[in-house]
Amino acid sequence: MALTLDQLNAAAPDEALRLLDGLYEHSPWVVQRALAQRPFATLAALQWALVQSLAAATRDEQLGLIRAHPELAGKAMVANALTAESTGEQSRAGLTHCTPDEFAQLQRLNADYNARFGFPFILAVRGPRGSGLTRQQIIAAFERRLGNPVDFEREEALRNIHRIAEIRLGDKFGVEPELGHRVWDWHEALAQHSDPGFKEQGQLTVTYLTDAHQACQRELVARMRESGFDEVGIDAVGNVVGVYHSAQEAGFAAGPPQGETAPSGGSEPREAGSVGAMRLLTGSHFDTVRNGGKYDGRLGIFVPIACVERLHRAGRRLPFGIEVVGFAEEEGQRYKATFLGSGALTGHFNPAWLDQTDADGIRMQDAMRAAGLPGTLDAIAALRRDPARYLGFVEVHIEQGPVLNEMGLPLGVVTSINASVRHVGEVIGMASHAGTTPMDRRRDAACAVAELALYLEQRAAQDGDSVATMGLLQVPGGSINVVPGRCAFSLDLRAPTDGQRDALERDVLAQLSAICERRGLGHRLERTMIAAAAPSAPDWQARWERAVAALGLPVHRMPSGAGHDAMKLHEVMPQAMLFVRGENSGISHNPLESTTSHDIELCVLAFEHLLNGL
């Protein structure tokens, strides 16, 4: 018999503890302390209490819990001395069927890991989807994590322990994140399309209008059709647009379309008579960076598709239409034209882009025509949306940062997409002999840049929510025995408001000048990018907050450090974003980018809550 929350909430303390027995390996205290927070409205609320319980524990308690875990494919497994839960997990991950080589490799890794960290390697290995790892993936993760700093790895172990508990909890309550699994599978399927040269290496790269990109378009069109969208089409810049009619519109409509709508008109209402129903605009991009992740952008397309599918299956219509756009281009990989997809909807398509050539010399307009698009400015201009007909724009996106992962929270509400500015620069000193130039006679360009790097760090931290990064740093043509005469660097400064960003930039540039002045050095600096902040519309942000709270989760408000399609829509309509936790410290633009079915499910439910509240 599966456990219910009512049972757990009503049980006497000892009984409640027994009901959750085995959740944390040999460590009932984690559950015991969390139970003090009963009653729990949702499983997510219980999990959050468990996260808090472990986070508040002493370092020794945490280490004790970690050390209570068996090694992966270790002595305990061989000796059949695992807990029932661990046995099931390790066996389902195939670890009981290692080849002798794999087994030997795992023993070596176990020994190295233990020697380095003083505790066993812990990885949530179970589950068919959202958590399932092959033996090869387990070994790769093991090797990768061996290089992590000790304190980081301790936290990573605790995160994996929570993930293991999440799956064990599902077993106890007899619930599976079926919605999450379904959306997870959609991501897996879409990730099968990848550009030549990457696909062969198992890497995901989908750049604008390549064959793989067009295959993604076709798959999204099919997915939208299957999910019950009323209108589905590919527009003049290659966006995939699906509309699920409002109750009012559906009353006029003759039924779901039989064929694909003409590309450039896919997002337009079919009848002048249907005007009157407002729409909610949502979506994100399906193109990727080179060797990118499966969720970046795509989550924001699939989550609303899942919501529409649920509405459709339930035969429900809302008082507004839902327009989901899979933006064809956001990353600017093939052409130097970022936010091309969302920019077309706001009327910010730059006509010069059509003549831009890619690395192979193919002009954008020729690439468009080859992909069956008109490739004309007129057709693109027609994509511009009339903001008066839209309620607003919402976007779901994987966080692409470590915050939710570190906090143990599945969802976060975005307060603002940060303003940003970038520079590339160079400090110019005088190269001289490292042996013969006394310290007080040097004009060391690298030391000046070092000072600036440390200032960046300290100045951004002062704001609390600003970030400043020197991602490029190099002494060009440097030699071990030459005092650096030049040092190239970059600046990437971001803050939640334009004013805060400007103050940060002003201080950093003033500091650069002061450092160079004091050291008698020259410098040059080129601003390569500036983007305004896109603060969330307060009422829309509040809708996301209510949706998150309804799941029994605390509301965590955070800025978005990365740019998103919502930045473009922000220029014409109110917008707000919801972030989903990324695994692996939120790594993004990387094949390790990942999320779980559980988190995806919570996101779908939050989106549904927002729809129902409008």
Q: What is the C-alpha separation between 595 and 519, in angstroms, rounded? A: 48
CB burial of residue 387 (10 Å; 0-12, 13-18, 19+): middle
Residues in the chain, total = 614
Q: Give yes or no for a contact between 540 and 575, defined as CB atoms under 8 angstroms apart.
A: yes
CB proximity list for 229: less than 8 A, separation 6 or greater: 242, 243, 244, 256, 305, 308, 312, 324
x-or-dash pattern for a second copy, window 488-527, by CB under 8 A?
--x-x-x-------------------------xxx-----
Whichever of 26 and 433 has its CB closer to a second copy, that residue is 433
Residue among 69, 193, 423, 564 flagged as catalytic: 69
Q: Pick the binder of a second copy from 43, 325, 364, 446 (CB under 8 A).
A: 446
Q: Give yes or no for a contact between 368 and 209, defined as CB atoms under 8 angstroms apart.
A: yes
Residue type, 341: G
Q: Pick the binder of a second copy from 102, 268, 457, 545 (CB under 8 A).
A: 457
Q: Pick the binder of a second copy from 483, 566, 573, 605 (CB under 8 A).
A: 483
Q: Give yes or no for a contact between 540 and 574, defined as CB atoms under 8 angstroms apart.
A: yes
Phi, psi of 513 (to 5 degrees): -65, -45
Whichever of 406 and 571 has its CB closer to a second copy, that residue is 406
Asked if 433 is an active-site residue, the reply is no
Greatest Cα pair distance in the chain: 87
**Does position 154 bind a second copy by CB under 8 A?**
no
**Does position 332 bind a second copy by CB under 8 A?**
no
x-or-dash pattern for a second copy, window 335-374, by CB under 8 A?
----------------------------------------
Q: Pick the binder of a second copy from 288, 342, 418, 595 (CB under 8 A).
A: 418
Q: Pick the binder of a second copy from 62, 194, 267, 466 (CB under 8 A).
A: 466
Would you call the peptide bond into 39 cis, given omega within 30 degrees of 0 as the criterion? yes
Q: Pick the binder of a second copy from 176, 331, 451, 583 (CB under 8 A).
A: 451
Q: Give the closest residue to 113 by CA, choosing from 159, 155, 148.
A: 148
Q: What is the C-alpha separation between 418 and 254, in angstroms, rounded? A: 44
Whichever of 354 and 409 has its CB closer to a second copy, that residue is 409
- E-strand ranges in 99-239 read 231-234
Q: How many chain residues touch a second copy (CB under 8 A)?
A: 76
Q: What is the C-alpha separation between 164 and 362, in angstroms, rounded? A: 49
What is the nearest approach in angstroms of a second copy to the Cβ of residue 471?
5
What is the nearest approach in angstroms of a second copy to the Cβ of residue 400?
5
What is the nearest approach in angstroms of a second copy to the Cβ of residue 594?
15
Whichever of 131 and 588 has its CB closer to a second copy, that residue is 588
Whichever of 107 and 469 has its CB closer to a second copy, that residue is 469
Whichever of 114 and 469 has its CB closer to a second copy, that residue is 469
Q: What is the C-alpha separation between 30 and 13, in angstroms, rounded? A: 13
**Does position 436 bind a second copy by CB under 8 A?**
yes
Q: Pick the binder of a second copy from 123, 232, 470, 578 (CB under 8 A).
A: 470
Site for a second copy in 573-602 (CB under 8 A): 585-589
**Does position 469 bind a second copy by CB under 8 A?**
yes
Site for a second copy in 93-112 (CB under 8 A): none
Q: What is the C-alpha separation between 39 and 9, in angstroms, rounded? A: 5
Site for a second copy in 388-407 (CB under 8 A): 399-403, 406
Q: Give the closest residue to 187 by CA, choosing from 339, 313, 301.
A: 301
Q: What is the C-alpha separation between 500 and 549, in angstroms, rounded? A: 30
Q: What is the C-alpha separation between 242 and 219, in angstroms, rounded? A: 13
What is the nearest approach in angstroms of a second copy to the Cβ of residue 447?
5
Could you give the C-alpha distances from 330 to 44, 64, 339, 498, in angstroms and in order?
A: 33, 46, 4, 22
Q: Give the closest residue to 263 by CA, choosing from 281, 283, 238, 295.
A: 238
**Does position 482 bind a second copy by CB under 8 A?**
yes
Torsion of CA 594, 598, 601, 607, to 10 degrees: -70
The tokens describing 140, both together, are 């790769």
**Does position 409 bind a second copy by CB under 8 A?**
no
Q: Pick the binder of a second copy from 160, 420, 575, 596 (CB under 8 A).
A: 420
Q: What is the C-alpha separation between 501 and 519, in angstroms, rounded? A: 27
**Does position 454 bind a second copy by CB under 8 A?**
yes
Whichever of 361 and 471 has its CB closer to a second copy, that residue is 471
The tokens describing 358, both together, are 């890619």
Whichever of 268 and 406 has its CB closer to a second copy, that residue is 406
**Does position 149 bind a second copy by CB under 8 A?**
yes
Whichever of 1 and 524 has its CB closer to a second copy, that residue is 524
**Does position 437 bind a second copy by CB under 8 A?**
yes
**Does position 148 bind a second copy by CB under 8 A?**
yes
**Does position 487 bind a second copy by CB under 8 A?**
yes
Q: What is the C-alpha separation between 9 and 20, in angstroms, rounded? A: 12
What is the nearest approach in angstroms of a second copy to the Cβ of residue 193?
25
What is the nearest approach in angstroms of a second copy to the Cβ of residue 472?
5
Q: What is the C-alpha separation between 287 and 285, in angstroms, rounded? A: 6
**Does position 563 bind a second copy by CB under 8 A?**
yes
Whichever of 599 and 601 has its CB closer to a second copy, that residue is 599
Active site residues: 69
